Structure 1
Amino acid sequence: MLATVALLFLLPLMLIVAVAVFVSDPGPIFFVQNRIGRHGKIFRCLKFRTMATNAEERLAELLANDPSAREEWMRDHKLRNDPRIVGIGSFLRKSSFDELPQLINVLRGEMSLVGPRPIVHAEAARYGRYFEHYCSVRPGITGLWQISGRNDTTYRRRVAFDVAYSRSQSTFLDLRIIVMTVPSVLMAKGSY
């Protein structure tokens, strides 16, 4: 119900973002990627596109030619100065507006408002024996990782946050995380 209300309320903003994405870098408005959901089920995660349409080729070339970028990618599965991000993409990431289409994933039952960030197949190995904890809950638009520094934390801590959430999930914890998400998004701490 909250996702429906949020989607209706945010629809005008989403339309503006969609136009801005297309004008900034013509091509698809949405980035759709297979992610791992509850019970290991694969689903198509929606985001506003923040990267160039040839992002995968750019990443492969960068990782092949830049040892420090390759090391950062292997450590965090992220790049602080990602050359794939184009136009309005940086603003969308810092504001978390790129995540708004995931409200549709929530309506479809693939995600929740609160839970671990949905991961791609290549990240599953990083969870090791804790992967079952990740799979025991629906991934969320926000969660402990997002309110605890996001990309400024190590991947190991991200896994720890996901395990802690899966072990202590409750309505009170979800409400606390939703409330704490507002200042985290406004301060854009750890977002890139």
Structure 2
Amino acid sequence: MKVSVIVPTLDVSKAQKYVGESLKDFQVNIVYMLDVYKNVSKTRNKGAEKEKDVATLFFIDDDVEIDPEHFRKWLALISEDRKNVIWNTQPLIFGIDRNLFVLTGGFDERIPFMSEDIEMHYTLKKLENAGILRIKYVEGGYIHHSSTEGAERKRWLNEKHSVYVFLKHDRKRLLHVLKRYHDGWKIFLMRYVWLLWTIWKFLFFKRTDCKFY
């Protein structure tokens, strides 16, 4: 079973230190994708587009150290049943049969950063409800070397992109979020600006331009 691990990064040495070192004993192809687009969704999709001759794709964040025994179990789960999908949000650990990944449509490039994993999880849940795949949630097996740098910007981006995700997948939750006053007037007003941004994205941008086959 050919396996490619796609790692989007702005610092290849960091990705090698964490992901590369922890998976060095496995016969997997680790693809370090420089995020030249400043769009982690597009970078992951480009990695999947590049790796056409593999059976299984893993997407792992560049600041994650993987426990080898857990990774071995994740590989076994997918090998035993190609419907099984390995999933963890924040940090992203996502293992999937490549054909199933194509069915998801790839990561939504209209979300360049923050909440793109939540959007993918909604997509996977829809496919699971249709009986196409089964999500196997990660329980431990990693160390996340996360940074607090840019925390405020990340919070704002998460707020912004969650409006997009909820409009697309969970409109009841969107209405609840839009009516929340207790987060402060600034965020309250900005949510409506973000809603207009979201509608514009829907109208004029595609999920991805990548050709997975």
TM-score normalised by the chain length of structure 1:
0.29
Which structure shows the higher helix fraction?
1
- Which of these two proteins has the greater Rg computed from alpha carbons? 2
